[in-house]
Amino acid sequence: MRGLLPIAVVVAALAAVPLVVQSNTTLNFLVVTLLIALAGQGWNILGGYGGQYSFGHAAFFGTGAYVTAILQVRYGVNAWLAFGAGIVIGAAVGGIIGALTFRARLRGSYFALVSLAFAEVLRIVASVAPITGAGVGTLVKLDLRVEALQFQSRAAFFWVVLALVAISLLVAQRLERSRFGTWLIAVRENEDAAKALGVNATQVKLCAMMISAAITAAAGCFYTQYFLFVDSGIAFGTRMSIEALLTPIIGGAGTVFGPLLGALVVQAVGEGAKLVAGDAPGLSLIVYGCILILVIAFAPRGLIGLVETSRRRVARPAKREAAHG
């Protein structure tokens, strides 16, 4: 996907949605979907483009969420500043974890597991540390004013998270076309070969990790502002880590729109499963799990991969004709 045009079109189309759709149920659904898409966009930078599959992205999500909450509640910091601080500190945490793991040259499954471990450590600490409210969690005061980054209308929240997603789309797009992106993809494809060609793999991965962490942290900050409550399970639990990796992979890892598409599909499937299965406990999740397996079985390179494969299949006969003609 080249150029800024596709991004502009998609963002504009999404931005128009609240003008057309009045139902708060749908708007809420879309806000949550975009939040997850944002977290996935972050993961995608490191995992999709960089090939480093992190299983603990909740570490950054939770950092963003807690920093935003704690700064407002305990130190009276303005919500917008707290939001920014959440992103910056999230990136810093990414830097620390990255420095430790990439210096130790951890790759593949080892990296996946160590990232999981870091997220767990943060979760445990957050569940006992007084500053986070320990088990009780941190509750941000309901204050529906723009200055407090809270809004009466769901549409306003929608536009805020959409803006963040738009920025992440731009970041991904810029990355794809930059030298840094080429290095990153080279590291993903074959780290040793990349190093032999002079790419500083550790530095590249570290940089990618920090960008990735910043974006996912932004999702966490937004969570705090939208739901106004955060505790250690919500912030650092495996649920968010899994959502962050699931959506890009389903949508298409290493593509600009993969996480966004993946989030829409995964959330829609979840809702669809609930409608089909009714209210028996667990049934909707069984349907959800089955659909997940089916999607992976039939679209192993994600949905965007599916589109590209079919496009190639259509193009191939034409090429053959051209070659023979």
Partner 1 sequence: MSDRSLPFTRRKFLASSTLCAAASIAMPSILRAQEAGVKLGILHPVSGALSYSGTQGRLGATLAIEEINAAGGIKGLGKIDPMLGDALSTPEGGTAEVEKMNSAGVAAIIGGYASAVCLAVSQAAARYDLPYVVDVGVADAIVTRGLKNTFRFGPGFGVIAKTALDNLAEINNHAGKPAKTVMIVHEDSLFGSGLAKLLNTQLPQHGFEILETIPHPTPTRDFNNVVLKIKAQNPDLVIPANYYNEYVLLARTMQQQRVKPKGIYSVLGGAASSYKFVKEFPDAAKYIMDCNHWFDPGSPKALALKKKIEDKGQFYTYEVYMNYSCVMLVADALARAGAADRAKLTAALESSTFSGHVMPYGPTKFVNGQNQGAAPVNTQVLDNDIKVVLPANFAQAKPVFPIPA
Partner 2 sequence: MFSPVILITAILNGLLTGAVYALVALGLTLIYGVLHIINFAHGALLSAALFAAFFAFHLLGLDPYLAALLLAPIFFGLGYAIQRLIISPASHGDDRNMLLVTLGLSVVIENALLYAFRADTRTIDLPYAFQTIDLGFTFLPIPRLIGFCVVFAVALVLWAIMRRTDVGKAIRAVAKEKLGAQLAGIEVSHVYAVTFGLGTACVAIAACLLIPTFYVNPSVGEAFVLIAFTIVVLGGMGSVPGALVGGLVIGVVESLSGLFLGESLGQIGIFLIFIAVLLVRPTGLFGARA
With binding defined as CB under 8 A, does residue 317 bind partner 1?
no
The footprint of partner 1 on residues 44-73 (CB under 8 A) is none
CA 16 from centre of chain: 23
Query: Residues 228, 292, 306, 307: which binds partner 1 (CB under 8 A)?
Result: 228
Burial (CB < 10 A; 0-12, 13-18, 19+), residue 225, is: buried
Q: From the CB of 176, what's the least distance to partner 1, in Å?
A: 24
Residue 246 is a binding residue for partner 2 (CB under 8 A): yes
DSSP 8-class letter at 178: S
Which of 297, 314, 318, 323 lies at the binding interface for partner 2 (CB under 8 A)? Answer: 297
CB-wise, 108 or 135, nearer to partner 1? 135
Kindly list the distances between the CA atom of residue 75 and the CA atoms of 23, 69, 129, 220, in Å, as whole numbers in the listed order.
36, 10, 16, 19
Q: Residues 263, 37: contact at Cβ < 8 Å?
A: yes
Q: Is 170 in the site for partner 2 (CB under 8 A)?
A: no
Strand partners, 138: 230
Contacting range for partner 2; rule: CB under 8 A; set: 33-41, 176-184, 260-268, 277-285: 277-285
Rounded to the nearest whole angstrom, what is the least distance from the CB of residue 289 to partner 2 in the complex?
4
Report the amino acid identity of residue 198. G
Q: Name beta bridge partners: 229.
A: 139
**Contact indicator for 235, 126 with CB cutoff of 8 Å:** yes
- Residue 120 interacts with partner 2 (CB under 8 A): yes or no: yes
- E strands, the chain, in order: 138-139, 229-230
Q: Does 9 bind partner 2 (CB under 8 A)?
A: no
Give, to the nearest 10 degrees, the angle between helix 154-177 and helix 201-227: 170
For 138, the token pair is 């941190």
Residue number with CB closer to partner 1 (142 or 318): 142
Roughly how many angstroms between the first and final C-alpha of the chain, as a whole number? 30
Binding mask 125-144 for partner 1 (x = CB under 8 A): --xx-----xxxx-x-xx--
Question: What are residue 230's DSSP bridge partners?
Answer: 138
Binding site for partner 1 (CB under 8 A): 21-26, 28-30, 32-33, 124, 127-128, 134-137, 139, 141-142, 152, 227-229, 231-234, 239, 264-265, 267-269, 271-272, 274-279, 281-282, 284-285
Query: Would you tell me which residues interact with partner 2 (CB under 8 A)?
Result: 53, 100-101, 104, 106, 109-110, 112-114, 116-118, 120-121, 124-125, 127-128, 242, 246, 249, 280-283, 285-286, 288-290, 292-294, 296-297, 300
